[in-house]
Structure 1
Amino acid sequence: MQSDSTACGLPPSHHAVLDPITLVLGGQSIAAEANPSAPLYELGRDVTDTSPKPSSAKFERIEYEDEDLVKSRSTVSLDQRSQHLFYLTHPLHAQYRTDVPAYYITSVSPEMPGKVVFQISKTLLRKPEFKAILVPGRTSPDGHLFDSATQKTLFHVKSKWKGGQYQWIDYAGQKVAHESSKNNEYKLVISKPIDRATRDILAAAWALRLWHDVAESRKAKWEYLERMTAPDTPSPYLNMKWAKRAGALGAAAGAGAA
């Protein structure tokens, strides 16, 4: 049977199909809800932080020597190693740029031969919708990094209503996962078996979508405006001038009181 990753444009996975799982984001780690002490993925930054820097983050898969111990939720020390899979990127000042997408993923792994770009559409009645688009190859024939001529949709992310949960729909129109968030706890409930390569890019795209929500929030935009309008290092001359003026006003007030 053809794997999901092959059908949606990814190469065949050499790993067994993985069972449904609920992923939980905690800081810079993503773990299974059933075993939060054994992270499955690590990120190079906290995507729920409103700071614009760093503008890209490593996305690594954590592999364990004994997967059976992980499944059994053993508390013994687990030998592990990390495999760098992707970079998640939200370029600085992306809203003013046309040369790169505002949110995208580049791959350092041969399992993902290309880049994943977020296409974002907004409506009045619903939350923003996202399409995770695979752009095959490192560069296009004309040398551009992102070539729309050969793109393929991996996932369509949308909610049924404005306050509803985000649903992750695959290339075939099948729901593969949905999001859940409460009290700043973020979960991705993967509801069908998928192979490892597909879960890797699904988890990475989910983290990037959360980054979008935080970066586009009112709080982040307000902090951005504050940084843009805040003066640079105060001038010693201006500080002295204001000190003299304050002293003069204080003296005048004292004379009036007398």
Structure 2
Amino acid sequence: MDDPPPYNDSSEVYGLGPGTQDDVHSPTTLYVAGRFIHSTDPWAPPLYELSHSVGFLKDTDRSVRIERLDYSIKRRDGVAQLAARKRHIYDLKHPLLVTGPTFAYHAEPTSRQSLCAFGLEKFRPKKLSPTKGYRIRRATHSHDHQQLVRRDILFSAVPTKDKAVRYEWSDADGQLVAREVNGSNVMTLVVSAMMGTGERDALVSAWMSRVWAELAKKTDPFG
């Protein structure tokens, strides 16, 4: 499922990562710009690329490809050049409701480095509260591969009373790992926990699924 390695005619290649499941990443702030997800490091290239411009995702869209961008420095004739390798990590899915999907939005892993399949579901953090949060559940395919089966919780995204914070994201143990914040009409995720490549890929993909679900409500004539 992984993309083939890029052709390399340079004499030296130095990896910059992240490229393996075992890499551990420090806390960082991510933001969306069109089809790309960047860190706030002004000198860093984008970290992820989507097949669609995020701000224009609609209810009628059915599949969104998300790729992680791994970088290396190639030396060609003594000149250093930054080279990107795209690794297809997830296909985000929004199946038609008439098919009776387990999840309105889910993610299919497309790489051996992808953590797992998962689906997005709404829930009420407090029984009497009108506000709704999201649970991201691990999922496996049924025996006939026609449906996804709900498994344990991977992440939860809960709205907060703080006007500057849209959602707080926690892991399966309830530990805070990230916050979605409001600011200058830019979609921003402040990742506060150390995490491996696979976990961060899943968090970013779950974030994009949640954003898509919210944007789709605005374009769904029956929503």
Residue 65 of structure 2 corresponds to residue 58 of structure 1: yes
Distance 1:176 1:126, change over 3 A: farther
**CA RMSD between the two structures:** 2.5
Structure 1: gaps (5+ residues):
1-12, 68-75, 226-258
Q: What do the CA deviations read for 1:189-213 (whole angstroms, capped 9, x no partner)?
A: 0111111110001011111111111
Q: Which residue of 2 aligns with 1:38?
A: 45
Distance 1:65 1:179, change over 3 A: same
Q: Which residue of 2 aligns with 1:198?
A: 199
SS of the counterpart of 1:203? helix
Counterpart of 2:143 (choices 141, 144, 169) is 141
Residue 137 of structure 2 corresponds to residue 152 of structure 1: no
Aligned partners of 1:126 and 1:160 also within 8 Å: no
Aligned partners of 1:133 and 1:154 also within 8 Å: yes
Structure with greater helix share of residues: 1
What is the Cα deviation at residue 143 of structure 1? 4.1
Which structure would you say has the larger Rg? 1
Rounded Cα–Cα distance in structure 1 between residues aligned with 2:157 and 2:39 = 21
Q: Which residue of 2 aligns with 1:132?
A: 136
Rounded Cα–Cα distance in structure 2 between residues aligned with 1:124 and 1:182 = 29
Structure with greater strand share of residues: 2
TM-score relative to the length of structure 2? 0.77
What is the Cα deviation at residue 165 of structure 1? 2.4
What is the Cα deviation at residue 159 of structure 1? 1.7
Residue 164 of structure 2 corresponds to residue 186 of structure 1: no
TM-score relative to the length of structure 1? 0.68
Give the alignment of 1:57-136 within 5 angstroms.
Answer: 57-66=64-73, 77-92=81-96, 94=97, 97-112=99-114, 114-122=116-124, 125=129, 127-136=131-140
